[in-house]
Amino acid sequence: MAGEIRTRNRILHILQLYDRSAAWSVEEIAVEMDVSVSSAYRDVQELVRADFLTPVMGARYVLGPTFAHFDLLMRHGDPLLKVAEPLMRRLIEATTPSSASVLTRSYQDKVMCIHQEIGDPAARIGRYERGATMPMFRGATSKVILAHQSRRALERMYLAHEEEVRAISHWKSLKDLCLELDAIREAGVAVSDSEITPGTIGIAAPIFLEQRVVAGLSLIVRAEHCRLEPFRAAVIDAASQISSQLAEVEGAWVARA
């Protein structure tokens, strides 16, 4: 660990610690990074001055307001969100209010929710908050993105998470995984039952840009309200519309440049 940290940016590594805990002391950071407390303190103070970290009770530090500002900039600047939001709301209207529409991107061998639209809150579909991550190997939301990875990427992820994959799925080998993902890619849609939230069906389709999958669109619906075939068609159609409109937006940006 120490050798790896020395070859990487220390400031970046401090921020990455917050994946594991919401608050850290300087002493804890120094231990994690294998540096002196004085070195860790200087790094932390640099982050505090830039509002990346904020001091709290107990001589600990949490993530600061700069991240909220960056999130706002991302939401205003991301063409995928601008295109997808109205179509996600329309997807719920076209299916059932007992559902949630979720937009995801791949993130460090996981998938991350970057936007959600909720139908009837009383349906208790589950919370898919912006920034929340889900395992890459469980649920339609993840599998539809996984299905469009290269074989080399699949092999790398499978070998890196083989024990986890076997524990949470019926896949006993890389071949089993590839066979199911081939079927998902052929169908253009993934369906899962209670893999993330009990009592819900997940239906997901890929979003493309220049023949690359850049995101996944999912409809999460209470099982008792799910009409699988029409809902599958609705998700595929919404993902296709997002892909088409995203290509138009990106093309316009390129033309202006």
DSSP element (H, E) containing 133: strand 133-135
Tokens of 69: 């500002």
Q: What are phi and psi of 25, to 5 degrees?
A: -95, 165
What is the pLDDT at residue 85? 95
The reported pLDDT for the residue numbered 2 is 43
Cα–Cα dist 54/222, whole Å = 40
CATH number at residue 27: 1.10.10.10
Q: Are 61 and 43 in contact (CB under 8 A)?
A: no
pLDDT of residue 10: 84
Report yes or no on 135 lying in a domain: yes
Domain that holds residue 229: 78-248
Burial, 201: exposed, middle or buried (Cβ in 10 Å; 0-12, 13-18, 19+)?
A: buried
Distance CA 71, CA 79 (A): 14
3-class DSSP state of 188 = coil
pLDDT score, position 255: 56
Run means of pLDDT, 10 residues per run, the chain, 257 residues: 52 92 95 92 94 95 96 91 95 93 90 90 75 86 90 88 79 85 93 87 94 93 92 97 91 59
Residues 39 and 116 in one domain: no
CA dihedral 224, 229, 231, 235 (to 10 degrees): 140
Residue-level pLDDT at 1: 44
Chain CA centroid to CA 84, Å: 15
In a domain, 73, yes or no: no
Residues 114, 105 contacting (CB under 8 angstroms): yes
| Residue 148 belongs to a domain | yes
pLDDT, position 173: 84
Residues 109 and 41 in one domain: no
Q: Which two tokens stand for residue 209?
A: 């840009």
Helix (H), strand (E) at residue 118 = strand 110-118
Total number of domains in the chain: 2
Are residues 226 and 201 both part of a single domain?
yes
Determine, yes or no, domain membership for 72.
no
How far, in whole angstroms, is CA 158 from its chain's centroid? 18
Pure H helices in the chain: 2-6, 10-16, 26-33, 37-49, 66-77, 79-94, 140-146, 151-160, 162-168, 174-187, 228-256
Phi, psi of 4 (to 5 degrees): -65, -45
Pair 182, 94 in one domain:
yes
